[in-house]
Structure 1
Amino acid sequence: MIRHVVLIRFQPEVSEAKIAALFAELKEIEDKLPACLGITAGKSESPEKMERGYMHGFIADFTDWDGLQAYQDHSDHQIAGAKLTEHAQGGKDGILCFDLEVAGA
C-alpha cells in the first residue's frame, strides 16, 4: 500500500468552513479511483504542538504506485489541488507532500 501524506499551511483568512469544503471536494475523488483505499482529512490535534503552521492535512491510501499516479493525473485531483494551492500560504510553498510504501498493509 502507498500512503500519500499532505500537510497544508492555509492562509490565516481561510475559514474552517472553507477548509472543510475543500477537503470534502477532495474526498469525492475517492469513489472515482478503484485503487484509492480512502482519504482522511482534518485539523491537527497533536499534543506535541510541533505542526510549525501546518495545522491541516490529509492522508490518501492507494493499492500501489500506479494507483497514486492515477490519482495525481485525475482531472478532479488537478482541480482540487489547484484550489488547495490557491488557499495555502505561499501557494505550493505552503504544502508538503510525502509518499511512503507501507509494508504488510
Structure 2
Amino acid sequence: MKLKYIVVMAIISMLTYGFTNKKRAENNNNQPEQMNIIKDSLLRHVVLFKFKDDTSKEDIKKVEDAFNALPSKIKQITGYEWGTNNSPEGLDKGFTHCFFLTFKSEADRAIYLPHPDHKAFGDVLGPHLDDVLVLDYWTK
C-alpha cells in the first residue's frame, strides 16, 4: 500500500512540476523559462530507504547493486555516493541506506526522474521498500 502511495505521489509531483513550468512560460510572454541553474552551486538529490523487516540481505544487495548501476546508465548524474547508517544517535527511524546524487541543473534531474533505467530500479526496489525519504537542495 505504501508503494502505491509513493508511486501516486511521484506521478502527482511530476504532473504538477510540468504544469507549473508551463504556466511560468505562459506568464512570461510565451518565452520558455530556463530550468534553474545556480552558478557555482550543485543540485543534490538525497534518497533514504527503510526496508521491510523481512527483506533478506541478498535482496538488499540487489537493490544496492541496481542503484549503484544508475550513474553509468544515466549521464545526467554527475556525482554519486552512498552508504549505510552508522550513527550512534538512534534517530534514523529505521532508515538504513542513503544515496546521494548530484545534478548540474533541474533539467538534468527532470531527465533522471522518469528515465527508463530509474524506473527499472524502482521495480527492483519496490517489493522490499517499507519507506523512502527524498530531499533535493541546491548547495550554498
Q: Normalized against structure 2, the TM-score is what?
A: 0.64
Contact 2:71 2:77 in 1 (8 A): yes
Higher relative contact order (CA 8 A, sep 6+): 1
Counterparts of 2:80 and 2:107, CA distance in 1: 17
> Which of 28, 31, 35 does residue 72 from structure 2 map onto?
31
Q: Corresponding residue for 1:87?
A: 128
Once the 2 structures are TM-superposed, how far is the Cα of residue 12 of structure 1 from its aligned partner?
A: 1.0
- Counterpart in the other structure of 1:71: 112
Q: Say whether the 8 Å CA contact 1:8–1:88 is kept in structure 2.
A: yes
Residue 24 of structure 1 aligns to which amino acid in structure 2?
A: D
Partner of residue 7, structure 2: none
The list of structure 1 runs, each at least 4 consecutive aligned residues, that deviate by more than 3 angstroms after superposition, is none
1:72 Cα deviation after fit: 0.6
* Alignment gaps of 5+ in structure 1: none
Q: RMSD of the TM alignment (CA)?
A: 1.5
Aligned residues: 99
User: Does the 8 A contact of 2:47 with 2:133 survive in 1?
Assistant: yes
Instruction: Provide TM-score, normalisation by structure 1.
Output: 0.82
Q: Which amino acid aligns with 1:20?
A: K
User: Where does residue 21 of structure 1 map in the other structure?
Assistant: 62
CA shift digits 1:24-49 (9 cap, x unpaired): 11221202233212332332011222
Provide the C-alpha distance between the structure 2 equivalents of 1:65 and 1:34, rounded to a whole number of angstroms: 14
Identity of aligned residues (%): 27
Residue 4 of structure 1: how far off its partner (Å): 0.7
Bigger Rg over Cα:
2
Partner in structure 1 of residue 22 of structure 2: none
